[in-house]
Chain A
């Protein structure tokens, strides 16, 4: 799923510095799962902003709403009645949410309350790690089910580089060298031969490099696209 981290309070407070009535919009999707923008986080942010304002001797009216998903017009249509009531709206959904909201409600200002980072999963409660770079041509089966595009700092297809040391990436000690894992897995399975030879160059057209992407299920589209 999409992982995001809430922006610092400093940054968010600066965004709504001059606003007196705001809405904080959470999302029950990915950001709830990674505990960045669900109901609890929305309430925490509301309280934090109120505290900051009170400290300044100022006031602020905050309403909250947690939408089913902010990446669906059907769901964001639900706030159409009240969206105009605020000076600004802070969306804690991933980067998609505030954009969908901005498109549907062009007269309102939507601030992103989180920094959307990567596609990943929870490796333990409270810890999420990147697993997928969304390159559009998945070939993890060529690497024992591990993805070097997302998990190698240099996206090497013929790794590891000379900086791999004791299973750790040269970039920082917290990063496991995925090529170390790939090679060891192949060695243990007696399949080192799979890594001999040169893996062909990647076609980056299907990745973000080829331009913003679209995914269409023709059988579901009504009318013309």
Chain B
């Protein structure tokens, strides 16, 4: 981790040793550029980079690539998400080159939620390669300047390679090894799935630190502020890979409906505070999906402003 791999803002912030703070933005269900730009306004200056999701939960939205390009135009830095569900290796390599050509410098390599979750469940899926192989592929394209088949790339894409990690999925004992594999494959940074079960996460991070993984890769802890108890309930039932402790749902239900969002934010802020001091955690990934207008307040109250300029 000596020379810059991509020169992205996120990479520079992490390399300089700052506690990173990234955000997330869901593209619109249409070509609604105005709506997207509205969201960007809340995020600009409050985060180091913004994830732009890729047909998340298999619901069709504007492409992550387009969203990322628009983001760059507005002066923010995108974290381009790419799922393996919808593209074969040809489209993947082609999109990586296209993304780089458009100025994108961060890429998050994902498998993708199964299409049966989404709004077009009858679609065929692709999964030509998986997220692990995608990480290795981006690394090959960046560091060796070669396509999967070994042919030379004329201008290689110098991407900062990210991957996801879900410490709450099963088998739990294996998750840290899978993380190790992603790092071996070439992941430069990791963003975890949103964390609610703090006990489990603390235990997970102990394992991560024991294996020295935090020294090979920057790990950002995922946080999603709960808007209300109903959201906690919904996520617990319908979103794959969630681990939401009853104590949190109780805490949210325990306050008046009007105050539930404040309680949700309070919980998130407590988490951020703990992550700042937790060994192995290099930053926080704040996923305030469809709540982007709250990010400035959350960032302020979390004490992460102003964002470092590197």
Direct contact of A and B (CB under 8 A): yes
Q: Shortest Cβ distance from A103 into chain B, in angstroms?
A: 28
Q: A162-B240, A167-B170, A180-B170 are in contact. Are A156 and B177 (CB under 8 A)?
A: no
User: Do residues B171 and A184 form an inter-chain contact, with CB atoms below 8 A?
Assistant: yes
Of A69-77, A104-112, A191-199, the one with at least 4 CB within 8 A of chain B: A191-199
Interface size on A, residues (CB 8 A): 33
User: Do residues B185 and A198 form an inter-chain contact, with CB atoms below 8 A?
Assistant: yes
User: Do residues A196 and B173 form an inter-chain contact, with CB atoms below 8 A?
Assistant: no
* B71-109 residues at the A interface, CB under 8 angstroms: 84-85, 89
What are some 9 contacts across the A-B interface (CB < 8 A)? A154-B114, A155-B127, A157-B132, A171-B116, A195-B181, A196-B181, A196-B184, A198-B133, A199-B132
In the complex, which residues of chain A have a beta carbon less than 8 angstroms from the beta carbon of B133?
157-158, 198-201
Q: A154-B85, A154-B125, A163-B241 are in contact. Are A197 and B111 (CB under 8 A)?
A: no
User: Do residues A154 and B130 form an inter-chain contact, with CB atoms below 8 A?
Assistant: yes
Contacts A180-B171, A198-B184 supplied; 18 other A-B pairs, CB < 8 Å: A154-B84, A156-B130, A157-B130, A157-B133, A160-B171, A160-B174, A162-B169, A163-B240, A164-B170, A165-B169, A167-B170, A170-B114, A192-B177, A196-B180, A200-B133, A201-B89, A201-B128, A201-B133
* B128-169 residues at the A interface, CB under 8 angstroms: 128-133, 135-137, 148, 164-166, 169
**In the assembled complex, A120 has its CB within 8 A of some CB on chain B:** no
Which chain A residue lies CB-closest to B166? A162
**In the assembled complex, B224 has its CB within 8 A of some CB on chain A:** no
**In the assembled complex, B22 has its CB within 8 A of some CB on chain A:** no
A120 to B185, CA, bound (A): 34
Q: Shortest Cβ distance from A211 into chain B, in angstroms?
A: 15
Q: How many interface contacts (CB-CB < 8 Å) are there between A and B?
A: 104
**In the assembled complex, A140 has its CB within 8 A of some CB on chain B:** no
User: Do residues B240 and A196 form an inter-chain contact, with CB atoms below 8 A?
Assistant: no
Q: Which residue numbers of A lie inside 8 Å of B, CB to CB?
A: 153-167, 170-172, 177, 180, 183-184, 187, 192, 195-202, 204
In the complex, which residues of chain B have a beta carbon less than 8 angstroms from the beta carbon of A195?
174, 177, 181
Which chain B residue lies CB-closest to A195? B177
In the complex, which residues of chain B have a beta carbon less than 8 angstroms from the beta carbon of A192?
174, 177
User: Do residues A204 and B241 form an inter-chain contact, with CB atoms below 8 A?
Assistant: no
Which chain A residue lies CB-closest to B129? A201
**In the assembled complex, B56 has its CB within 8 A of some CB on chain A:** no
In the complex, which residues of chain A have a beta carbon less than 8 angstroms from the beta carbon of B132?
157-158, 198-199
Q: Which of B84, B125, B173, B178 has the most CB of A within 10 A?
A: B178
Q: Which residue numbers of B lie inside 8 Å of A, CB to CB?
A: 84-85, 89, 111-114, 116-117, 125, 127-133, 135-137, 148, 164-166, 169-171, 173-174, 177-178, 180-181, 184-185, 193, 240-241
Q: A153-B114, A154-B127, A158-B130 are in contact. Are A166 and B170 (CB under 8 A)?
A: yes
A198 to B181, CA, bound (A): 7
In the complex, which residues of chain A have a beta carbon less than 8 angstroms from the beta carbon of B84?
154
Q: A156-B111, A163-B240, A195-B177 are in contact. Are A170 and B117 (CB under 8 A)?
A: yes
- Pairs of residues from A and B, 6 with the lowest C-beta to C-beta distance, nearest first: A162-B166, A158-B132, A163-B240, A170-B240, A162-B241, A156-B130
A166 to B133, CA, bound (A): 25
Q: Which of B129, B148, B166, B170 has the most CB of A within 10 A?
A: B170
Which chain A residue lies CB-closest to B241? A162
Q: Which of B132, B174, B178 has the most CB of A within 10 A?
A: B174
User: Do residues B128 and A204 form an inter-chain contact, with CB atoms below 8 A?
Assistant: yes
In the complex, which residues of chain B have a beta carbon less than 8 angstroms from the beta carbon of A170?
113-114, 117, 240-241
Which chain B residue lies CB-closest to A149? B127
Which chain B residue lies CB-closest to A181? B171
Q: A162-B164, A165-B240, A201-B133 are in contact. Are A187 and B173 (CB under 8 A)?
A: yes
User: Do residues B127 and A156 form an inter-chain contact, with CB atoms below 8 A?
Assistant: yes
In the complex, which residues of chain A have a beta carbon less than 8 angstroms from the beta carbon of B174?
160, 183, 187, 192, 195
A164 to B136, CA, bound (A): 22
Q: A162-B241, A163-B241 are in contact. Are A196 and B177 (CB under 8 A)?
A: yes
User: Do residues B127 and A171 form an inter-chain contact, with CB atoms below 8 A?
Assistant: no
